[in-house]
Structure 1
């Protein structure tokens, strides 16, 4: 019997498998698709954007270089280690098809942004992400079985079983990472609630007889929006039909051409459609991310429109939050209630993402009221404060968990603090441990942290930028669990450490 069975070998399932593998858990990943490679994972249809927060996660686990190589990127903007402050991003994304101007971003207004080797988002592909994660997971002892379709889930107080054909896969815990149409979600009885769609969207790779009739980029129209990317024939269309299209079958060339003509207001001709799929903006979320010994992460827990590219990044955040907490539970040193903080911390983030995408859909609707709102938002986004606000939300830098502290850093992602010897926080996190950075000259926390020395890494030394702190306790997911300002007490540190990492080792 495995410690954990993960259903779904997409980016979220594989990232979670790596996190558990780092912690020496025995992990089995089940994936219904027989092969890793498919046209839907390679460029251009497999194009995905990783936010700066997600890129930083790969950096902190020592996988950024592998990801850049797999993505064919050889000019990623590495930070100047001697820089005094962070620089504006090269790209800033879009809101409802309204592209942000990165020159408008007020970097000084972003929360605790410091120079880092992972400052920018990355455009990559599903294949690149999955290949890097699958290779790392395999090296960590994770077993991946493809061509396995889970048909039933049963559980009791001691274990959970995934049933597939004639086989049974038993584990202490089961994680559904099997996407928006998650089988695990339904089989385990999760309640899934939300709103119904306003539009049907289509993604296609086609031969266009007269591509000059379509404008490049995002194009809102009186019936929806279309997008023509720089890749010839790679087109996206959204038609506000309340999700009326029957998505049980792939869209035909005739249907796609009719929709594109209606939305674009042209008589463009699709000579041939090579690949096409449809989607909607249905926005739903499970009421909890855990039922007994079954947990959900990524699209299995929350679905929404792909506007703004939030789905993949939210899923990686789920996996990062869950991995170390579940590993501590498996190994028996998790404090009471630690695993419950997964839902408590991540469910509000998922709910926010659903509303963020709903707001974009409402702005894009082709009716006079929505168009009036779009004009207003376009004006606001064109301002420095407006651009900064939207970028902060989309980049992941605004996330803060409520950890019961008024200290402004606690609950936030830790900036890439750098010691005077050049050691960065990101250099200290590839093994998935917590980190204590002690900036004092007397190393006052050295003895206190010994009780957790296999769970928490202690590093002392003066910092180039210490943000006015004596020390910080960083969780394995990069979140500040405790921050010691001048004249802090050891008891407060030990209380915070015990809350997140359990009792000290005797």
Structure 2
């Protein structure tokens, strides 16, 4: 990938991304599918990351499958025997996951799901996989480059960067902040980050516990009179208390973690061989807006919350899949008015609902007999199929339906699940047709389909037009967005006017083929 020098000085990229975590890397890969020159700036070093295990949920796995990445990610889980065994044990129990520590999700619903299992990966391995993806597609990754400020104008954004060699600047037509909850990009552009302050503190580490006086610690998860104690399948220890210390800024220590374990479990211990310790809270905040001119936010820079149900990484990755093609379309000049702004209008309410459900989970996790009684009642409610399905759709993001638009077709705004297709080139599957990351016009295989396909020819430079027959397609023609959601659906007979209107609304004006 080549870059240019900008008249204001420094290199120039189409898009600059702050933050080489999973969200920034996934976004970089999505942009590169469209040939957008992309620079990712990361203040840390390669391989640095948080001591976290991330559960990738249904909608994220479906998105990975549509880019041809699912099999590779599934193989990566097998590199982590503890996590793979935990995942299999959970599957054997009939549960897919938990709500507020109640491992009942998925047990009582027969609703068909394209990806009925989660994947569990460490933050380190997830970042490694997405780094390889972004690098292979030609994104430029620079570590030890901390974004310290920005100025934007009508033509682009100047990004100020601190490196080991001193201060530098780089230009981008757009800047996306994927730089975490303390985002320098969000602060630099003056976007508010309202929300709620911490009510609890969780401490996490990895080490060896020696129990004194014949005491015993739980093998997995346990709610106690003092909070929660958890042993993770990858060897981590986590403990949660509803007594928030005044100092949350200084580094966590092994002694602090050990003392917290003793308070929560009521068991005397010695903690040794601690290689890492950190803390986090349930502070829940969301950016008041996701875009300010040529600057956008995604991932934790746009929203933070307690990691109940493992929703954070999934929420951020789905931000990236939603934003990538829209930002590329804006840069390439074919985006219709409002397409880029639809990133905020679609994703902001989704994140707001995640903040709501994680706050609810924190309330259900509190110690005390009153909450204990509420948990028992809630567990009985989760035995009901309708309740279980509703909570599963919340946690796994499978209940999302975006605005169906003025036509309001029953399928518009929903996620199109994978299905076998028959095309002129032979049998294939929907997921394979979405690998390039382009809008897909699917169907138009019946009578009159040829005329409609001819009407769509003016969009062939940016839309893949695939006549196909399939059982269960649900409509005569479907306009599938690169992120897998349906932009438009048309029942037979599909008129040229309706098809042209849909393509113009989502993919901009047609471009007649050159003579």
Where in structure 2 are the equivalents of 1:205-284 lying within 5 Å?
A: 205-210=206-211, 213-232=216-235, 234-241=236-243, 243-284=244-285
Change (3 A) 1:439 1:154: same
2:418 is the alignment partner of 1:413:
no
Name 2:430's counterpart in structure 1.
Answer: 425
- The whole-number CA distance in structure 1 between the counterparts of 2:108 and 2:429 is 29
Name 2:361's counterpart in structure 1.
Answer: 360
**TM-score in terms of structure 1 length:** 0.90
Q: How far is the alpha carbon of 1:72 from its aligned partner?
A: 2.8
Name 1:140's counterpart in structure 2.
Answer: 137
The C-alpha deviation readout for 1:163-202, integer Å capped at 9, x for no partner, is 0132001111000001112111112111110111110011
- The whole-number CA distance in structure 1 between the counterparts of 2:93 and 2:255 is 41
Name 1:436's counterpart in structure 2.
Answer: 441
2:99 aligned residue (95, 98, 117)? 95
Q: How far is the alpha carbon of 1:448 from its aligned partner?
A: 2.2
- The whole-number CA distance in structure 2 between the counterparts of 1:130 and 1:359 is 29
Conserved? CA contact 1:205–1:276, under 8 Å: yes
Conserved? CA contact 1:439–1:466, under 8 Å: no
- The whole-number CA distance in structure 1 between the counterparts of 2:24 and 2:400 is 22
Structure 2 unaligned blocks of 5 or more: 1-11, 85-90
SS across alignment from 1:319: helix
Q: How far is the alpha carbon of 1:438 from its aligned partner?
A: 0.6
Q: How far is the alpha carbon of 1:245 from its aligned partner?
A: 4.9
Name 1:463's counterpart in structure 2.
Answer: 470
Conserved? CA contact 1:55–1:120, under 8 Å: no
Change (3 A) 1:479 1:180: same
Conserved? CA contact 2:456–2:499, under 8 Å: no
Conserved? CA contact 2:80–2:121, under 8 Å: no
- The whole-number CA distance in structure 1 between the counterparts of 2:36 and 2:360 is 40
- The whole-number CA distance in structure 2 between the counterparts of 1:460 and 1:120 is 32
2:301 is the alignment partner of 1:300:
yes
**TM-score in terms of structure 2 length:** 0.89
- The whole-number CA distance in structure 1 between the counterparts of 2:383 and 2:189 is 46
SS across alignment from 2:151: strand
Where in structure 2 are the equivalents of 1:186-205 lying within 5 Å?
A: 186-205=187-206
Q: How far is the alpha carbon of 1:351 from its aligned partner?
A: 0.5
The alignment's C-alpha RMSD in Å is: 2.4
- The whole-number CA distance in structure 1 between the counterparts of 2:28 and 2:432 is 21
The number of aligned residues is: 482
Q: How far is the alpha carbon of 1:406 from its aligned partner?
A: 3.2
Where in structure 2 are the equivalents of 1:168-179 lying within 5 Å?
A: 168-179=169-180
Name 1:83's counterpart in structure 2.
Answer: none
Q: How far is the alpha carbon of 1:490 from its aligned partner?
A: 2.8
